[in-house]
Amino acid sequence: MQPPTPPGNRPVTPVVEKMKSWFHWLFVALLATTFALVLAANGMTLNLPGRPGWPEALLILLVTVSTITALARQLPLQNILLAAFVIALMGGAVHALGVTMGIPFGPFIFGAEAGPQFFKTLPWAMPLIWVAAILNSRGVVRLILRPWRKTRSYGFWLIGLTAGLTMLFDLTFDPFASRVKHYWLWMPTKFPLTWQDAPLVNFFSWAVVSLLMLVFVTPALINKNPARRVPDFHPLAVWLGAILLFGIASALHGMWVAVALDGTIAVLAATFAIRGGRW
């Protein structure tokens, strides 16, 4: 007689797998619908009922949830929730420090458009934005590095490139957030070099903070199952969809340099990710 399988090693039943798949595609459908609604609201003079900004708030929630459900098809849910909690906690704490003391991102203030704030300091959406940016950037990098996933230095490249891609995400996101939606406002600094009013130290800080987060959460995101899996293009779709939204909004406000950068980053990321994913 074989000994009983420990609870932590019991295989997932087909019913659980089907439920995960159903929930995932449900949230993907809701995300796609909300994304189209946000694009219409930003690209046209479309007056939606309710308080201003609710489509964007719903979009942030659905992006976060669909990101978690997508990962739950590959990893244990408790691992993903732990990683998301650590990212949200660290990202929220750093942004609360930033708006209070001006470090490490540079001096800025949150606007009323950012929504309700925790302790009148941190908008509720900022921790979720960190979760979506980190996890989806990591998913895109996994596609890019797929041909080299068995090399000994793969883990280091995954962490480093994810931090870099998260920085590029913020490079495209900041003009949309600060100049289009006025979620925050950058204050003048002594540093002459800025990007769409944002000090360059902001983007460097996003890379460093992302690197620290990944050091903590990567052990929870390692797939212990060595079996070959079909590449997941969900992170790439979310990542490119976000940049598409930022680019359209920037174009409508005449920020053509930002549009050009958004397009360049999107094309390069998509090219390398699709090439790697097809390996």
Q: Per-residue pLDDT tens, the chain, 279 aa: give them.
A: 444 444 444 455 666 666 666 666 676 777 677 777 777 766 655 565 556 678 888 889 999 999 999 998 889 999 999 999 999 999 999 999 999 998 999 999 999 999 999 988 999 999 999 999 999 999 999 999 999 988 999 999 999 999 999 999 999 999 999 999 999 999 988 777 899 999 999 999 999 999 999 999 999 998 877 566 788 899 999 999 999 999 989 998 999 999 999 999 999 999 999 999 988
Give me the pLDDT at residue 226, please.
59
Q: Per-residue pLDDT tens for 223-269?
A: 877 566 788 899 999 999 999 999 989 998 999 999 999 999 999 99
Q: Which residues contact 79 (CB under 8 A, 6 or more apart)?
A: 220, 221
184, containing H or E segment: strand 184-186
Q: Which residues contact 265 (CB under 8 A, 6 or more apart)?
A: 168, 171, 172, 243
From residue 108, alpha-carbon distances to 29, 90, 193 in Å are 36, 19, 16
Cα 87 to Cα 133: distance, rounded to the nearest angstrom: 10
User: pTM of the full predicted structure?
Assistant: 0.88
Measured in degrees and rounded to the nearest 5, phi and psi for residue 111 equal -90, 170
| Helix 125-144 × helix 256-277 angle, to 10° | 50
CA atoms within 13 A on the CB side of 103: 1
Cα 156 to Cα 169: distance, rounded to the nearest angstrom: 20
Q: Per-residue pLDDT tens for 178-209?
A: 999 999 999 988 777 899 999 999 999 999 99
